[in-house]
Chain A
Amino acid sequence: MKLKKNLALSDSGFVFDPSTGDSFSTNPIGLEIIRMLKEGKTADDIKSQIIKTYMTDDVSFEKDYYDFVNMLSKHNLVEGVEKEKN
């Protein structure tokens, strides 16, 4: 899954999608995941990074991760959802 390239992220967790004008706020772990996704890291890379840093297990991570990624997709923050026109 690829996030839109032009998403603007701030350190406070404010996410701005310049193509739609939508803005969101996320917590520090959400921001960390979004940053890793923007860097092109895979779900496995992100999992190992998060498990290494925080007290969580594979099952909890995967549940929360895929919930989060679905939310990103629902809010059109994922590349390829919109077609190029003209």
Chain B
Amino acid sequence: MLKKKKINVAVTGLNAIDSPGPGVPVIRALRDSKLFDVRIIGLSYESLEPGIYMHNIVDKTYQIPLPSAGKATLLERLKYINSIEKLDVIIPNFDAELFNFIKLVDTLKKELKINVFVPTLEQFEERHKSNLPEFGKKHKIKIPKSKLIFNIKEIPALRSEFTYPVVVKGKFYDASIAYSPEQVATYFNKISAKWGLPVIIQQFLHGQEVNVTAIGDGKGNTIGAVPMRKQYITDKGKAWSGISIDDKNLMNMTRKLIKSTKWRGSMELEIIKTSEGDYYLIEINPRFPAWVYLAVGCGQNHPEALINLAMGGKVEPFKKYDIGKLFVRYSWDMIVNLDEFEKISTLGEL
């Protein structure tokens, strides 16, 4: 039997909450790996991220500075963590932190010998929600009609360009469906206060939302892809259960997009399939989705493949996946002693 290689992997996104980060499922995938024997170092931002206290999932956790502190502060903290943990790979799992990690890819490799397999800055920037229409044109992919607005005064004129309902989106997170200009104004105020400007107005499309978790090798090859349809959706729009589906058009679209962008690393595609059978890309998340463990259940361990790619291994593309596999998420109350909460809150380590 092949002896597993021992490696130390740092993972963010330990917030296994109602709008979950992908950290815990990514770690579960790595713990299932047939190639690697992993020691998991959790990187957290807040003291109540549940993954911090899941000691069968995370071996040790360190707090890291918020993305707004910048890459230099992050690098200093990572140097400290690395001096103790000798990290081999870091898997960032938040959109908001990716910019700093992308900027640090070379430094981390050269100075600390840490591998990070993330999209390039160009890939990261061009798939931003606000850049999506241009992205669609460049890569010949259908995108719903969209417009950026910067001022509430622009709302009345939307009627001439869009048919209600429309989707009002923040530049990073949040999306609400508005059925009237008054509702657009309400969501504009709410979203711009939280995420800043511009706010994106997107034509609402009637159809079925389907999602794909995928991984590209950075040379245009799709290493793996599993499409899923949400079965149960929370009031935050998150999938609480979903099922793997067999949709060749969706797989073709994914492969085409990865080939065209030469995507490097993990991604989640959010797509609307209309009743006419057209596929519209509504979002690209440049990281694993929180439901990535479904891919493992379907026979494609994407986080393991990502580690392999990060460490320069030869990775063969997955050729198949199980169709009709479901994930059903659940919540679980852990009992945590105060001293653990105290340690992570005051020392920044647990």
Q: Which residues of chain A have a CB within 8 Å of any CB of chain B?
A: 6, 8, 16, 18-21, 81-86
Say which residue of B242, B243, B276, B324 sits within 8 Å of A83 (CB atoms): B276
State whether the Cβ of B226 lies closer than 8 Å to any Cβ in chain A.
no
A85, B279: Cα distance in complex, Å: 9
Interface positions, chain B 214-257, Cβ under 8 Å from A, are 228-229, 231, 242-249, 252-253, 256
A20, B245: Cα distance in complex, Å: 6
Q: Are B245 and A83 in contact (CB under 8 A)?
A: no
Instruction: Point out the residues of chain B lying under 8 angstroms from A84, CB to CB.
Output: 248-249
Q: Are B249 and A85 in contact (CB under 8 A)?
A: yes
Interface of A is mostly: loop
Q: Are B279 and A19 in contact (CB under 8 A)?
A: no
Give the A-B pair count, Cβ closer than 8 A.
38
State whether the Cβ of B323 lies closer than 8 Å to any Cβ in chain A.
yes
State whether the Cβ of B312 lies closer than 8 Å to any Cβ in chain A.
no
Q: Are A21 and B243 in contact (CB under 8 A)?
A: yes
Closest 8 CB pairs of A and B: A21-B229, A18-B246, A85-B249, A83-B277, A21-B243, A82-B277, A86-B252, A21-B245
Nearest chain A CB to B298's CB is how many angstroms away? 12
A83 — nearest CB in chain B belongs to which residue?
B277
**B contacts with A, residue count (CB < 8 A):** 21
A18, B276: Cα distance in complex, Å: 18
Nearest chain B CB to A68's CB is how many angstroms away? 22
Q: Are A20 and B252 in contact (CB under 8 A)?
A: no
Interface centre among A16, A18, A19, A21, by most chain B C-beta atoms within 10 angstroms, is A21
A57, B219: Cα distance in complex, Å: 64
State whether the Cβ of B180 lies closer than 8 Å to any Cβ in chain A.
no
Instruction: Point out the residues of chain A lying under 8 angstroms from B186, CB to CB.
Output: none
Q: Are A21 and B231 in contact (CB under 8 A)?
A: yes
Q: Are A20 and B324 in contact (CB under 8 A)?
A: no
A84, B279: Cα distance in complex, Å: 11
Instruction: Point out the residues of chain B lying under 8 angstroms from A18, CB to CB.
Output: 245-246, 323-324
A12, B31: Cα distance in complex, Å: 36
Instruction: Point out the residues of chain A lying under 8 angstroms from B248, CB to CB.
Output: 84
Instruction: Point out the residues of chain A lying under 8 angstroms from B231, CB to CB.
Output: 21
B229 — nearest CB in chain A belongs to which residue?
A21
Instruction: Point out the residues of chain A lying under 8 angstroms from B278, CB to CB.
Output: 85
Q: Are A16 and B249 in contact (CB under 8 A)?
A: no
Instruction: Point out the residues of chain B lying under 8 angstroms from A8, CB to CB.
Output: 324
A8, B323: Cα distance in complex, Å: 11
A-B contact pairs, 9 of them (CB 8 A): A8-B324, A18-B245, A18-B246, A19-B247, A81-B277, A83-B277, A85-B277, A85-B279, A86-B253
A82, B252: Cα distance in complex, Å: 15
Instruction: Point out the residues of chain B lying under 8 angstroms from A81, CB to CB.
Output: 277
Nearest chain B CB to A18's CB is how many angstroms away? 4
Contact with A along B194-210 (1 / 0, CB 8 A): 00000000000000100
A16, B323: Cα distance in complex, Å: 10
Instruction: Point out the residues of chain A lying under 8 angstroms from B256, CB to CB.
Output: 86
A8, B277: Cα distance in complex, Å: 21
Q: Are B323 and A85 in contact (CB under 8 A)?
A: no
Nearest chain B CB to A54's CB is how many angstroms away? 31
Say which residue of B228, B246, B253, B276 sits within 8 Å of A19 (CB atoms): B246
A20, B277: Cα distance in complex, Å: 11
A81 — nearest CB in chain B belongs to which residue?
B277
Interface positions, chain B 17-59, Cβ under 8 Å from A, are none
Interface centre among A8, A83, A84, A85, by most chain B C-beta atoms within 10 angstroms, is A85
A60, B276: Cα distance in complex, Å: 34
Nearest chain B CB to A9's CB is how many angstroms away? 12
